[in-house]
Amino acid sequence: MADHITEIAVFGGGCFWCTEAVFKMLKGVKSVMPGYAGGKAEDATYEKVSTGNTGHCEATKVEYDPDEISFDDLLTVFFASHDPTTLNRQGNDVGPQYRSAVFYTTPEQKTATEKIIKEIDASASGKPVVTEVVPLEKFYEAENYHQDYYAKNKEKSYCVAVINPKLKKVKEHFAALLNKNNI
């Protein structure tokens, strides 16, 4: 049996601890890596990116099997699990490093993202989506201590107060997309 071909999607949805934990719950997701994308600085570290001066944002690279989960499904979960209408902010995390962004890797991803943004904007929510839609130029992996943060630190206050409610919402609204082994 041949291996399934995987695709890459990269999302910035505030703190990458949150987006990593959300995407790890989904079926068809083969790997999730927190990191940095979207800036002009030649390298990216947490220390540098957290200043807000590198142009990078905290991002999550998702490797997925499109035969098991579609990019549209990933987008739907992404937009439902953070606030795409707040500029450079998710809750108490403030600064350009926490902006909402989709770093597309194919023209189809760009088209799909622009389509869902138009649909959200046309809904009765009132506030326009400010999610950046730009090509992925480079992705920098986050430091080891950021990887799999939620799984290693579920009892920490940030995980309890911020990540747990996001995961609960995803479990309630997207049960059909969950990987039953990862929840």
Number of domains in the chain: 1
- What ranges make up the beta strands (E) of 82-155? 89-90, 93-94, 100-104, 132-135, 139-141
pLDDT of 183 over the 60 cut = no
Tell me the mean pLDDT in the region 34-47: 93
* 182 within domain boundaries: no
* 155 within domain boundaries: yes
Tell me the mean pLDDT in the region 103-130: 92
pLDDT at 1: 45
Where residue 161 sits, what CATH number does that domain have? 3.30.1060.10
Q: Which residue has the tokens 């990458």?
A: 16
Note whether 129 and 84 are within 8 A (CB). Answer: yes
* 2 within domain boundaries: no
pLDDT of 127 over the 50 cut = yes
The span from the CA of 133 to the CA of 6, in Å, is: 21
The span from the CA of 143 to the CA of 164, in Å, is: 23
Q: Which residues are catalytic?
A: 15
Note whether 169 and 72 are within 8 A (CB). Answer: no
The span from the CA of 183 to the CA of 180, in Å, is: 6
* 173 within domain boundaries: yes
* 183 within domain boundaries: no
CA torsion through residues 136, 87, 17, 51, sign: positive
* 130 within domain boundaries: yes
**Confidence (pTM):** 0.93
Per-residue pLDDT tens over the stretch 94-114: 999 999 999 999 999 999 999
Domain that holds residue 22: 7-177
* 25 within domain boundaries: yes
* 108 within domain boundaries: yes
The span from the CA of 52 to the CA of 149, in Å, is: 21
